[in-house]
Chains A and B, each alone.
Chain A
Amino acid sequence: MTRTSVAAVEGLFTLDPDEPRLIGGRARSRGSYFFPKSLAGSDPACLGDEIDEVLLSRTGRLWSFTTGEYAPPAPYVIPGDEFEPYVVAAVRLAEENLVVLGQVVSGISVDDLSVGMEMELVIDLLYSDDDHDYLVWKWAPAGYQENGDG
């Protein structure tokens, strides 16, 4: 039986396999960016401004990183039968100057990372059930896929 691939939450990112992007908001006259778009508004100069939906840069510099060594509570869903520790990255997007969290693709450890290194957005499996693969954005070191590590 084949499972259908779907976004774990709709409307936050595109599923383009080669060039996946986060979907954010941009204040039309002010020019500030938001992610997710639904949280637009923290810039007081945007009050009353139109918020356009925009695709955000898919590369940026690593702002910081850490690990999750213990299983988080729901609504986190443990993929597979047993919890595996994971790496989390915070990446400062090149164009928009905002920092976005995400898990790091498996196979990369904190020893492979350093603040300031170039990262890129990929789409990867978050968890599955009988019918669906639920996908999410993750961060990978730039060139990770071209290098054949993926």
Chain B
Amino acid sequence: MDDIAILGVGMHPWGKWGRNFVEYGVAAARDALADAEVGWDEIQFVSGANSVRCGYPGYVSASTFANALGFTGCQLASSYAACASGATALSIARAQILSGVCDVALVVGAESTPKGFFAPNAGERHEDPDWLRFHLVGATNPTYFALYARRRMELYGDTSEDFAAVKVKNSRHGVFNPNARYTKEYDADDIANSPMVADPLRLLEICATSDGGAALVVSSLEWAASRGVDNPVRVSGISTVSPTYPNSVIELPYLASDSWAAVGDETMTFKDNIAARAYEEASVSPEDLDFAEVYDLSSAYELDWYEHIGLCERGDAAKLLRAGDTALGGRIPVNPSGGLGAFGEAVPAQAIAQVCEMVWQLRGEAGRRQVEDAKVGLSINHGMFGHGSSVICTR
């Protein structure tokens, strides 16, 4: 797959600001344009990552943001893929660029979130798994995170202390990130003393819901060169794969996993497949990575990702963590940005924010959270119902 260039990145700081999400998206877009030294009137295509929590303007995010920046007659696309929306929006921009439909595009997502658990849309829908899981089981998002965490404890001998150590690590990274919402350095006692939410996970180990916005200016390599940018950070792979049947893990928001009665035993899971596709597109392997930005929806969830992206064998993630390999200064730092532990989640902006962090790292502009000599980074997450999301950036 051919690469595209990332010319500029921008973020509105994460928080609980309680303002219109359009403000966050516009602030991020203006920063990305300034960073790219590209004028808004030069943007030929806007790819918006939608919000489903901000009313109709959120469903048509590209036109909402384009309107707020000033309608110039550029082409638009708005997409929603839950937590994968940002990667999906980037993949659409890449397709437009590589097919020659446009040379330079803006990718943008933002959200303003309510407090507390994410809840399904209003109404009574007996065939909507998202409605059923809340109504019949009281299964919130942390319920699923905790089921995975408990399984790690039972299968691999991971402990609550291991899980807490993920949050401690990420909070140490987040201290150095001006866009993070939580910049306090937590210790193990803070976590042990926070309330239990879904055994074995405590409040400080579960991703909060945040307001935030993030944006990228991307272009063809030729267009970048025409602006004198000869060595840009490149998007070298994007994965937006669906699960492959049968996925043996019970995924949000379903009441049941796939059955593997007809097809032998469990092998690859959805999260393995997401990374595999990104590696294939970028012609990169796990050993080539200098750092990774993974979706730590819970502390324990980060450990699952170490295995899914191939940093270690299944079951060995806690060993990497305990050895300090995944902390800044370690062999393969994970979530140098501070991750969701330091940000909380602003759904349509989050996968774009992961890419922003990769760009700062690959340019050597990450300040005190800089990974030394970073050349290759991977971001990964997934959207509820089965949207894969992974981006590999290189320089």
State the A residues within 8 Å of B (CB). Answer: 8-12, 27, 30-36, 38-39, 42-45, 63-70, 72-77, 86, 88, 90, 95-103, 110, 114-116, 126, 136
Majority secondary structure, B binding face: loop
Assembly CA distance A143 to B376 (angstroms): 55
Instruction: Name the interface size band of chain B.
Output: 35 or more
Given A36-B256, A115-B154: 4 more A-B contacts, CB < 8 Å: A32-B261, A72-B139, A97-B259, A115-B155
Contact assessment for B150 and A115 in the assembled complex, using a CB-CB cutoff below 8 Å: yes
Asked if B134 contacts A98 (CB within 8 A), the reply is no
Q: B130 to nearest A CB, angstroms?
A: 10
Of the candidate stretches B25-33, B67-75, B120-128, B221-229, the one touching chain A is: B120-128
A75 CB to closest chain B CB, in angstroms?
A: 4
Contact (Cβ within 8 A) A43 B262: yes
B41 at the interface (CB under 8 A from A): no
Q: What separation, in Å, do the CA atoms of A100 and B116 have in the docked complex?
A: 26
CB distance B137 to A103 under 8 Å? yes
Given contacts A39-B129, A90-B250, contact A101 B134 (CB under 8 A): no
- State in angstroms the CA–CA spacing of A35 and B245 once bound together: 15
Knowing A66-B199, A72-B134 are in contact, say whether A98-B257 is a contact too (CB < 8 A).
yes
Inter-chain CA distance A63–B198, complex, in Å, is 16
- Say yes or no for B363: interface residue by CB 8 A criterion: no
30 A/B residue pairs, CB under 8 Å, sorted by A: A9-B136, A11-B126, A12-B136, A32-B258, A32-B262, A35-B255, A36-B127, A36-B256, A42-B243, A42-B258, A43-B258, A43-B263, A64-B150, A64-B151, A65-B147, A66-B200, A68-B140, A69-B196, A69-B198, A70-B117, A72-B117, A72-B119, A75-B124, A88-B137, A90-B147, A98-B257, A100-B257, A101-B256, A126-B136, A136-B137
B80 interface residue per 8 A CB criterion = no
Distance to closest chain B CB from A137 (angstroms): 8
Interface centre among B131, B257, B259 (most CB of A within 10 A): B259
A69 CB contact (under 8 Å) in B195, B256, B262: B195
A9 pairs with B116, CB closer than 8 A: no
Residues of chain B at the chain A interface (Cβ within 8 Å): 116-117, 119-120, 124, 126-127, 129, 131-140, 143, 146-151, 154-155, 195-201, 243, 245-246, 248, 250, 254-263
Whether B259 pairs with A36 at a CB distance below 8 angstroms is no
The answer to whether A74 and B119 touch (CB under 8 A), given A64-B151, A69-B197, is yes
Total A-B residue pairs with C-beta atoms closer than 8 Å?
151
* A34 pairs with B259, CB closer than 8 A: yes
Which A residue's beta carbon lies closest to that of B196? A69
A97 CA / B250 CA spacing, docked (Å) = 12
**Complex: how many Å from CA A67 to CA B202?**
11
**Residue on A nearest B265 in the bound complex, by CB:** A97
Q: B134's contact among A32, A35, A73, by CB below 8 Å, is which?
A: A73
Q: Which of A8, A73, A90, A110 contacts B119 (CB 8 A)?
A: A73
Given contacts A9-B135, A67-B198, A98-B261, contact A42 B245 (CB under 8 A): yes
A67 touches B199 (CB 8 A): yes
Q: Is the CB of A31 within 8 A of B199?
A: no
Chain B neighbourhood of A67, CB < 8 A: 146, 196, 198-199
Residues in A neighbouring B136, C-beta threshold 8 A: 8-9, 12, 102, 126, 136
A38 to B135, CA, bound (A): 17
Q: For A96, what are the chain B residues with a Cβ–Cβ distance below 8 Å?
A: 259, 261
Complex Cα distance A41/B198, Å?
31
Per the bound structure, the CA–CA distance linking A99 and B147 in Å amounts to 12
- In the assembly, what is the distance between CA of A129 and CA of B133, in Å? 20
With both beta carbons as reference points, the residue of chain B lying nearest to A138 in the complex is identified as B137
Contact of B143 among A8, A68, A97, A98 (CB under 8 A): A68
